Structure 1
Amino acid sequence: MNPIDELRAARPAHLGDAPVDTRTRTRELSYAMSQPRSARLPRRGAARPLWSLGLAAAVTAVAVVAVAVSGTGGTTPRAPDPAPASASKVRLSARDILLTAAAKAARQPAGTGAYWHTVSMRRTLFAVDGAGYRVMDRQREEGWTPNATGGDQWGSIKPLGARPATAADEEAWKQAGSPAEIPVKVPGKPRPMTLTTSPRKKFTGRTPLVDGDKVFWLGRNVTMKDLRGLPSDPAKLKAWLLRSYEGHSTESSSDPMAADPWLFRVSIGLITDMPVTPQVRGAAFRMLADLDTVDVIENVTDAEGRQGTAVAVRERTKGSGVLENRLIFDQATGRGLANENVVVKSGGLQSAFEPGTVWNSQAVLEAGWTDSKPSS
C-alpha cells in the first residue's frame, strides 16, 4: 500500500468518500488523540486539501504515528509557569500584548513564489497501557502548496521514532526489556497502534488540488485567491470566518462548541503557517485581542526550546477533562512558533497525565514562499 493509500485507509468510515486535502490530513492523522472517537476529522460538506498544516485540532483516532514532546531526561514535559512580574516592571494586558504582536506581524515581508512551503515537528505524549511508563514520538512534516490552480499539493512525513518521556519512564521501559516496538491503544480501534523506537523511512506523496483550486481549510475549503483576499480589518475578518460557524466543533456536528474557541481553532493557521498577507496575520492577532475568553501567558518555551508568548483558550473534552489550546508566538516579531495542548484537568484520553503536562504540540520550523519544486 503506498503512503497516500495508507492515509486514506486511516479515514473513519462514517466520514464517507468525500476528498480531504493533503495538508489537513497530515494534521488530522498526527493530532489523533485529543478528543474521543466521536469527534481530529469533522463531518464536512466540502473537502479539505490533504497536507494542510494550517488548522489546529482535528480529532480522530487513526492508525498513523501521532507525535510527542522531545527529550528523555528530567520530568514529564510541562508548560512553564509564568515568570513573576518584577516590582519595577509594568505588566502589559493580554490585549496590549496581542496588539503589539499584530503590529509586528503586519510588518513581516510578504514575498511570493511558486509554492507555499512549510516544515513542522509534531509531538504527542503517550501512556503505554499497563506498562507503567510513557513514551514520546516525533515526526517531521513538510508540505508544498502550489500558488497556481490546477497543480498538485505535495507532502512528506518522516517518523523519527518513539522514546521514553522521562528518566523514570526510561527506567521502566528498560525493566520491561527495552522493547523496540511499543503498542499503544487507539480509541475506536480494535487493535493497538505500534510505535517503534527507530526512525522510519520518509514517505512523500502528492495529490491534485481539491476541485482544482482548493488549498486549505478555514472553516470551509478555500482557494489561494480566497486566502490572499481575506480582509485585513479584524471585525471583517471575524465576520468572514464566522459565516462558516454552525454552533459545533470543527471536528463533529455532535459536539457543541462556543464561537470563541471555534474561532480560535480556525484562526491558528492564519498566524502560524497559512499563506496570508502580513496585514491579515496582524488582523488575526487583533481579532483574538477582542475575544473575552482568550488568555495570554508570557515566558513560554515551545518543544523546540524557543521562548515566546502564548495566547490560549480552554476546551472541555469528553470524560470531564479540560485542555488548554495554546498558540505560541514570538512577541518581538509576531511570528507564530507552535500550537500545543496542555492538560488543565485530567480526564478521558488525558486521564494518565497530570495537570500542566504538554500533551501534544506542532512546532512550525519554516513557513514561506519558494520557487523550488519538491522532489518525488
Structure 2
Amino acid sequence: MSNRPDVMKLLAEARPRRLDPEPGSRIDPMTITTYPRSGAGRRRAVPRRRLVLAGALPMAAALTVGALVLTSGGGAAPDRPVPGATGPSAAAPAEPRSARELLLVAAERTGTEKSDAGRYFVRSQEHGERKEVDSAKGRYGVAVRSRIERWQATRPGDQSVDLFQSIGFVPITPADEAAWKAAGSPTRWTEPAPAGHADIVHHATAGPRSVQVIPAGRDLHLAGQPVSAAELAALPADPAALKAALTTRYRRSGGTEDLRQALFFAGRDLVAGLPAPSRVRAAAYRMLADLDGVDFLGRVTDREGRSGMAVAHTRRGDSVWGQTRLIIDPQTGQALAEESWNLGTGRKAAASGTLMGWTLLLRAGYTDETPPSS
C-alpha cells in the first residue's frame, strides 16, 4: 500500500517559512521557450513500495523487479490537494516562483526519503537525440530514441549491467511530422558515418534488447572523474562542503568548462541519475539553489507528458547559445528529465530554440534482486 499520504502530510506541516515566495520575485522571460501546459501533464500514480520496471519498457520483454523503492525518478502521482490539509477546499501549496525556491522545495522533499539501501540501484531512462533527415520533399527532424536500464552494483563483488534497447525514431515537432508524412512516412533511413566507419541504419520500430556487463571503475562519473558508489555515499550533506568537494574533483580532472557550468552539471547528475543517498541529493539541490547563473523557466511538460517545473543553465557567447534544462516535480522533489536546447547564434539567439536531445528519468530505486542476464 502506498505511504505517500503520510509523507506529504509531514512535508506540508514541515515546510519552512523561508520557502514562501520572495517579495518582488518574477518568472524568468525564458518561460516562453518551454512547452505549453496541457492535460497530458498528469501522470500515472506509482506505488511507493513496489514497482515493476518493465512498465517503463513497453516494447521490451517483461522484467519484474522485487521490492523496488522509488527514490529519484519519475512516476509521481497526479496533481492533487496535499493530504492532511483541512477545510472543504484543501488546495496544494503555492507553486515556487523562482529557481532558488523550486530547488529548496525539492531539497526539503528529497531529504525526507528513508531507503538508500539495496544490492543494486536500478535506473531506467529514455534518451532521445535530434537528427536531420534530407528527403526529396525537404528536411525534417527525427528523434533517435533508446531505453537504458542500469543495474548499478552497490557492493563489492557484484557486477553492474546495462539493459539497452533502441525504441525507434519519431518526428519531433508537428512541422517535422508533416514533412515526414510528405516524404512518404519512411520507416527507415541511413545516417552517413565519418570516413572509415559503417553508415548507421535507423528504424522506426523497436529493436531487440541486449544486456552488457559494465567493467568496474568505468560505470559512474562525477565532476569529470570516475566515482564509486562508496565515494558517492561519503559525499558531504552540507551544500557548501559539497560544492567544495565537487570543485576539487573538477579541477583535478583538468576540465576547461566554466566552473559554474561544471557545478550545475555535477548537481544535475547527483539529483537525476547517480545512486547518491537522499541526504546528498538534498545537498545538491541546495547547492544549485545558491549557484549563480541558474534560470527559472516555470511550468513545463517533458517528452513523457509529465508536468514539472524547470531550471536551466545557459551557455552564452558569440557562438551557438546552448541551454541545459533540469525538470523537477515540485511536489516530490524528484528529477523528471534533462533537456538540451540550441538557442541560436549570438544576438540572433532564438527565444523558442530547438530541442536537440533529452534524458527522461522513468524509474529509479534500490533492490536486492539479481539483474537479468538476457
Choose from 364, 367, 370 the match for 2:367. Answer: 370
Residues 246 and 303 of structure 1: CA distance in aligned 2, closer, same or farther (over 3 Å): same
2:191 & 2:171 partners in 1: Cα distance? 13
Question: Is the 8 Å Cα contact of residues 34 and 297 (structure 2) preserved in structure 1?
Answer: no
Aligned-pair CA distance for 1:106: 0.8
Is contact 2:116-2:278 (8 Å) kept?
A: no
Structure 1 residues 175, 309: CA separation in 2 closer, same or farther (over 3 Å shift)? Answer: closer
Q: 1:10-29 maps to which residues of 2 (within 5 A)? A: none
Q: Retained in 2: the 8 A contact 1:184–1:194? A: yes
Deviations 1:298-323 (A, max 9, x none): 10111111111112101259x92111
8 A contact 2:343–2:353 mirrored in 1: yes
Q: C-alpha separation between the residues in 2 aligned to 1:177 and 1:154? A: 39
CA contact (8 A) 2:267 2:285 kept: no
1:135 aligned onto 2:142: yes
Compared with structure 1, are the counterparts of its residues 147 and 176 closer, same or farther at alpha carbon in structure 2 (3 Å cutoff)? same
Cα distance in 2 for partners of 1:315, 1:374 equals: 39
The verdict on how the C-alpha distance between 1:201 and 1:115 changes in structure 2, with shifts beyond 3 A counting, is: same
Distance change (3 Å), C-alpha of 1:173 and 1:91: closer
Cα displacement (A) at 1:361: 0.6
Partner of residue 187, structure 2? 180
Partner of 1:16: none
Residue 345 in 1 paired to residue 344 in 2? yes
The answer to whether the 8 A contact 2:122-2:364 is kept is: yes
In the TM superposition, residue 203 of structure 1 has moved relative to its aligned partner by 1.0
Counterpart of 2:168 in structure 1 is: 161
Matched, 1:311 2:311: yes
CA–CA separation in structure 2 for the residues paired with 1:363 and 1:331: 16
Say if 1:90 and 1:371 are closer, same or farther in 2 by CA, change over 3 A: closer
Contact 2:105–2:330 (CA under 8 A) maintained in structure 1: yes
State the TM-score, normalizing by the size of structure 2. Answer: 0.68
User: Highest Rg: 1 or 2?
Assistant: 2
Displacement of 1:209:
1.3
* Corresponding residue of 2:334: 335
Residue 123 of structure 1 aligns with which residue? 128
* Matched residue SS, 1:363: strand
Whether the 8 Å contact between 1:346 and 1:354 is mirrored in structure 2 is: no
The unaligned stretches of length 5 or more in structure 1 are: 1-77, 84-88
Identical aligned residues as a percent: 33
**CA separation of 1:103 and 1:174: change in aligned 2, threshold 3 A:** closer
Over the aligned positions, Cα root-mean-square deviation in angstroms equals: 2.9
Deviation at 1:167, TM superposition (A): 4.3
Asked whether the 8 Å contact 1:295–1:312 carries over to 2, the reply is yes
CA-CA distance at 1:152 after TM superposition: 1.2
Offset from partner CA, 1:261-280 (integer Å, 9 cap, x none): 01111221211122222111
| Matched residue, 1:79 | 34
| TM-score, structure 1 as length reference | 0.67
Q: Which of 186, 195, 208 is 2:202 aligned to?
A: 195
Show the counterpart of 2:258.
Answer: 258
Question: CA offset at residue 81 of structure 1?
Answer: 6.1
| CA gap 1:321/1:193 in 2 versus in 1, 3 angstroms | farther
